A and B are shown apart, each in its own frame.
Chain A
Amino acid sequence: DAGVIQSPRHEVTEMGQEVTLRCKPISGHDYLFWYRQTMMRGLELLIYFNNNVPIDDSGMPEDRFSAKMPNASFSTLKIQPSEPRDSAVYFCASSGDRAMENTIYFGEGSWLTVV
């Protein structure tokens, strides 16, 4: 399996622009997670889905952030409008829904810089 695939790997955008990050989870996985990592706050969970339904979005910082999962093989995290403080690495992760194997596997991340 190719693992969790994220795009773009790097993005530089101007403040006020819309940013869309994409994620393809591991095939067959029922859970999808979006994390953000900064030097100040470390790794933080933003939101996670089960069977395409958002389960916990308490980590989403504000209304500028939104996440969708239209089908089992694709999710997006959108920031509109973007601000310099949104600069971070955004990780997508996925896991299965089997009692003995629901280890969470991470993608390589999307490095976002907002100038």
Chain B
Amino acid sequence: DAKTTQPPSMDCAEGRAANLPCNHSTISGNEYVYWYRQIHSQGPQYIIHGLKNNETNEMASLIITEDRKSSTLILPHATLRDTAVYYCIVRVRSFGNEKLTFGTGTRLTIIP
């Protein structure tokens, strides 16, 4: 699986949009971009994933650049409960390669 690079930490004011960047310059054509987050002492929580089109769900939006070498997770109106470590993961979805490989992620702190 391709490697991802994320900033180690970010702050965002409560109520503002949180934009979390991720670089995955070696991504292959069949690799998806996944985002998970982990709130302290809880299990990782799935947020969103995409292949090449932008995606939106009730939690967040995922913007993938046209060359697919980077992406941005957007939390439109951050709340204090969004304080967590956010992981960007690139993953091939095929038999024998189902695993998620976690990096160090971005520690997002929402400031009141």
Contact = CB atoms under 8 A, between A and B. Distances in A.
Contact of B43 (A44, A56, A106): A106
A88 to B, nearest CB: 13
Interface string B74-107: 0000000000000000000101101111111000
Q: For the complex, would chain B's binding face be called helix, strand, loop or mixed by DSSP majority?
A: loop
B36 to A, nearest CB: 8
Interface of A: 4, 31, 33, 42-45, 48, 50, 55-56, 91, 93, 95, 99, 102-109
B58 to A, nearest CB: 14
B49 interface: yes
Nearest to B101: A45
Contact of B98 (A31, A43, A91, A107): A31
B42 A109 contact: yes
Contact of A48 (B41, B99, B102): B99
B86 to A, nearest CB: 13
B46 A104 contact: yes
Interface in B11-55: 41-46, 49
B46 A105 contact: yes
18 contacts: A33-B99, A42-B104, A43-B44, A44-B102, A45-B100, A48-B99, A55-B96, A55-B98, A91-B43, A99-B93, A103-B49, A104-B98, A105-B46, A106-B43, A107-B43, A108-B42, A108-B43, A109-B42
